Structure formats: structure tokens, C-alpha cells
Structure 1
Amino acid sequence: MSNASSTFDDILRCARSLIIAGGYNGFSYADIAKVVGIRNASIHHHFPAKSDLVRTLVARYRAEAEAGIAELERNVADPAGQLRAYTGYWQACIIDASAPFCVCALLATQIPVLPAEVALEVRAHFRVLSAWLTSVLERGAREGSLRLDGTAEAEAETFLATVHGAMLSARAYGDAGMFGVVIRPLLARLIFSR
């Protein structure tokens, strides 16, 4: 069972890197088989269709993101610190290329061509992030550490769009530092300096 579990995880890891590199239609089972060193039939055993593979990948990604948010909530008490930690996480990932782009953000750009079940998972990821950010922004506004120009919900969507746009800018320019160039003014606008 351990070997099957390892193959399952290897397939998902490979698919994740291939999606980040080229999107949903930018890879095939043959590409995964070559990288992982297995036959296509082994991939089909675990994931009968590509949509099954990517839906499972996004569901796992969502679970990882939710665990990361829960850990951030436990370790960083103040809302301003949580916003800094969230953007700092992405900045570090982009700089060291460990996760240079959010899988769900990349797939969101491809919603029109995604299978419905994959699109559903991608949308659920954004809803979870938006709800968490809304709660952080509401808390920060109540405590007086964050300044909101609109509703917490609208600010959360602006924050998400800016973070993901900053990832896109860093990728487009081939410059990891571009992420910080875009994010710093966002944080400066939201966080009261003391």
C-alpha cells in the first residue's frame, strides 16, 4: 500500500508542477509517466480521467491552504501580522521558486475550458480565502490596526486580486522582486503604522 500511496502522491506532485508550468491543457498523462517513471496505465489506475486527477489535486491544495491558514491563525495573533505573513509566504515561495504561482489562481484563468468539477474546486478555494481574509480585515478594522476603504468583503477581494496579480507580474517580468513592488503599497494602505 505504501508504494501505491507513494505513486499517487508522486503523480499529484508532478501534475502540480506541470500545471504551474503550462496550465490544465499543458500536460498529458504521458508527460507525467515520463517524469514519474511509470506507465500511463498506472496513472489511469489512480485517476481514470485527467479531470479526476486535477480535481483531486485542487482538493488537496485547498486542504493544504486551509491548514496553512489555521496554522497562521494559531501563530500570528494580530490581523496586520496575518496579512504580512500571508503575503510573506507567497513572496518567499516566488523568490525560492518552491511555489512560484498559486495553482488555483492559474486554473482560475482557465475556468472556461476546465471541466465543471475542477472549476467547482477552484471556486471553492477562492471562497475559503475570501472568507478568511474578510474575517481578518473585519477584526483589524474593529481593533483599529487596519484601515478599510470599503466593506471588508470588497477589501478581501481587492487583496486577493492584488496578491494574485502580483504573482502574475513577477512571472511576466521574470522578476521575483516584482511581487513585493506590487504588495508593499497594498499593505501600506491597509495597515496603520504605529
Structure 2
Amino acid sequence: MNKLSDTADLILACTRKLIVGGGYNGFSYADIAEVVGIRKPSIHHHFPTKVDLVTALLAQYRQEAEAGFQGLQSAIADPLDQLRAYIQYWSTCISDASAPFCVCALLASELPALPGEVALAVRAHFRFLSAWVTSVLDRGVQQGTISLQYPARVEAEAFMATVHGAMLSARAYGEADMFAAIMQPLLERMAVKR
């Protein structure tokens, strides 16, 4: 993705918040114009259609996730600790409301009603996330820090479903701590007992 202008970055940041707050159909260019303080034609200049806007947001979101996972793998050797750091990232985001819900998870709940290009980008993010979690679990098993009952791919999907479900529970209860309360036992079950 090419470097975006400051205005395009502001539009994308606003779009992210609006999607997390109300989903794909919960906002319009008029909402963005009001929040960012620009006119709708300026938004159309950067993102001609809502599909263009949301697919650009999802491409940015994916790049951020890729960079985050690379950073985790560079900074933390133990695969179980990488999963802990991933969980801590979301726990912090939920607690401080900086990113209280995964944009792709929220959009996945709207998948049947999403335009095709947006749905493809959401599915691609889930495949990417599944591949990363699977690789972390595989490495943890090989290094003897993670114990699995089922194949890594199955466990990765269960892990992702639990993360996204824990986000939903934290939101439903209005209790940020609910996320960690759900995720901690899962991590403990995966850890090899020493």
C-alpha cells in the first residue's frame, strides 16, 4: 500500500472507529466529513466509493497485523509468550478503548450483507490470522512449551473464535476485564506443565 496523505489517514482512522462503533452500514461519508472536518467530495477524492474506503482500511489493518506479528516474533522467542503478548495487546486495547474490537471480526458478523470485495478482504484477514496462530502453535509444540489436544490448525481456529468471542463478551457485559478472564484459562490449558 502506498503512503497515504494525512487527510486519507484521518479518513481511515475515522472509518475504523465508525465501523467498530456501528458496522459497515452504520456510517456514511457524511459522518466521516463531520468528524474529520472536511467535505464529502474530499473523501470521494481519496476513496471514490465506500468499498474503496473499507478495502483500503482492511489493507492497512492487515499491514499493521503483519508488522505486529513480525515484531512479536523478533522480540519474544517462546511461542506461548507470543500468544500471551497477543492476548495482552487486545486486553489493553479493550481496557483503554483504543481498539475495543477487531475490525475484521466485527465485519465478519456482517459478511452476508457486505460487498464482495470487502468480504474477500475480511476472509483473507481470517486466513492470515489462522496461519499465524497455527504456526505459533506448531512451534510451541516443537519447542515443548505448548500442548494441544487437536491438530494445530483446529486449535488455531478455536483460539481465534475464543479471542473474538471474548471481545464480544467484554463488550456485552461492559467489562473490559471479561476478555482476560476468558482468555487466561485457555492459555493455561495450552501451557506444558513443568
How does the TM-score come out when normalised to structure 2? Answer: 0.97
Deviations 1:105-153 (A, max 9, x none): 1001111111110111111111111111111101111121111010000
Instruction: Quote the Cα distance in structure 2 between the aligned partners of 1:23 and 1:90.
Output: 19
* Structure 1 partner of 2:41: 41
SS of the residue corresponding to residue 136 of structure 1 reads helix
* Structure 1 partner of 2:21: 21
CA positional deviation for 1:192? 1.8
* Structure 2 partner of 1:90: 90
RMSD: 0.9
Instruction: Quote the Cα distance in structure 2 between the aligned partners of 1:83 and 1:150.
Output: 17
* Structure 2 partner of 1:54: 54
Deviations 1:143-190 (A, max 9, x none): 211110100000000000000100000001000010011101110110
Instruction: Quote the Cα distance in structure 1 between the aligned partners of 2:143 and 2:73.
Output: 16
SS of the residue corresponding to residue 61 of structure 1 reads helix
Deviations 1:73-125 (A, max 9, x none): 00000111111011011001101111100001100111111111011111111
SS of the residue corresponding to residue 175 of structure 1 reads coil
Unaligned runs of 5+ in 2: none
Unaligned runs of 5+ in 1: none
Q: Which moved more, 1:21-30 or 1:136-145?
A: 136-145
* Structure 2 partner of 1:128: 128
Instruction: Quote the Cα distance in structure 2 between the aligned partners of 1:132 and 1:25.
Output: 30
* Structure 1 partner of 2:169: 169
- Aligned pair count reads 191
SS of the residue corresponding to residue 77 of structure 1 reads coil
CA positional deviation for 1:193? 3.8
Instruction: Quote the Cα distance in structure 1 between the aligned partners of 2:12 and 2:148.
Output: 39
Percent of aligned positions that are identical: 65
